[in-house]
Structure 1
Amino acid sequence: MSSNRRSLIFIVDDHDVIASTLTEILNVSGFECVGFSDPLKALQAIESNAPDVLIADALMPKMSGIQLALRTKTLSPSTKVLILTALMNAGELDQARGHDFDVLQKPISPPELIRMLNSLCPNHSD
């Protein structure tokens, strides 16, 4: 059974320019993407409509990307999670260890991100 719906992706980064730029790039690439600069607002949206993929910055005020990812997986175990980080520190890796999260180094090139999302969303339709 295949789905023709576009994969829903949430991008959460406290730097609004990063969230909005990645959102625009992914929307143009055929994904249904919503960007958030506030992880608490993203969590509210996840509670009502969980995305297929969550892409979250590791370090944000109010709630880290890893905390957001853990809450998301509790609400929607099928949501795939990508954690973006500029500074890969041991604490972040320890928090992500044991969970089904991919940790990616920032900056990530848009073509690389799109390739990764295409592999995570096999039913994605451009």
Structure 2
Amino acid sequence: MIRILLAEDDEAMRAYLSRALENAGYSVVAVDRGTAALPLLEEEDFDLLLSDIVMPEMDGIELAQRCSEVSPRTRVMFITGFAAVALRASREAPQSRVLSKPFHLKDLVLEVEQMFGELAFAAL
């Protein structure tokens, strides 16, 4: 089963995304900030880091850069509501994908499936 580490500071969005990904058949560990995600990346294996870009303490771009050091096989996808931030993410973490808010949950699941070349687990 694909394991996803979700870093999202908005509690409602974190719960919403976690539930959608779990319903699609993924294992999700969700945290509220990058500084909480980093130790998990060091201790556990994750297939995907799904991170908001704008977060307190450590933004998603810094988290992705640190992730590449401590867990280089973990893929990265950003979610953001800010176009300028999305451009920065594309420049500073070129191997990642960026999904701009607002997006439909089906779009998120499809992006994850495409990253791993999988068929849909469940319809949303």
TM-score of the two chains, using structure 1 as the length reference: 0.85
* 2:98 matched residue in structure 1: 103
Select the residue among 69, 93, 102 that pairs with 2:87: 93
8 A Cα contact 1:11 1:34, kept in partner: yes
Query: Is the partner of 1:97 in helix, strand or coil?
Result: helix
Alignment TM-score, normalising by the size of structure 2: 0.86
Which deviates more, 57-66 or 45-54? 45-54
Aligned length: 120
Query: What does the per-residue CA deviation read over 1:71-91, in whole Å, with 9 as the maximum and x for residues that have no partner?
Result: 1111122211111110111x6
Name the CA distance, whole Å, in 1 between partners of 2:22 and 2:79.
19
Corresponding residue SS for 1:30: coil
Q: Which runs of 5 or more residues in structure 2 are unaligned?
A: none
**In the aligned structure 2, how far is the partner of 1:123 from the partner of 1:104?**
18
Q: CA–CA distance in 1 between the matches of 2:47 and 2:111?
A: 13
Distance 1:124 1:33, change over 3 A: farther
- Unmatched tracts of structure 1, length 5 or more: 1-5
2-structure distance, mates of 1:81, 1:10: 10
Deviation at 1:96, TM superposition (A): 3.5
Indicate the larger mover: 13-22 or 115-124: 115-124
Deviation at 1:38, TM superposition (A): 2.1
Structure 1 counterpart of 2:112: 117
* Aligned-pair identity (%): 27
1:17 aligns with 2:5: no
The answer to whether the 8 Å contact 1:7/1:123 transfers is no
- State the AA in 2 paired with 1:28: N
- Runs of at least 4 residues of structure 1 off by over 6 A? none
Alignment RMSD (CA, Å): 1.9
Q: Contact (CA 8 Å) 1:9, 1:52: kept in 2 or not?
A: yes
Contact 2:78–2:96 (8 Å) recurs in 1: yes
Q: What's the CA shift for 1:95?
A: 4.8
* Pairwise CA distance, 1:26: 0.7
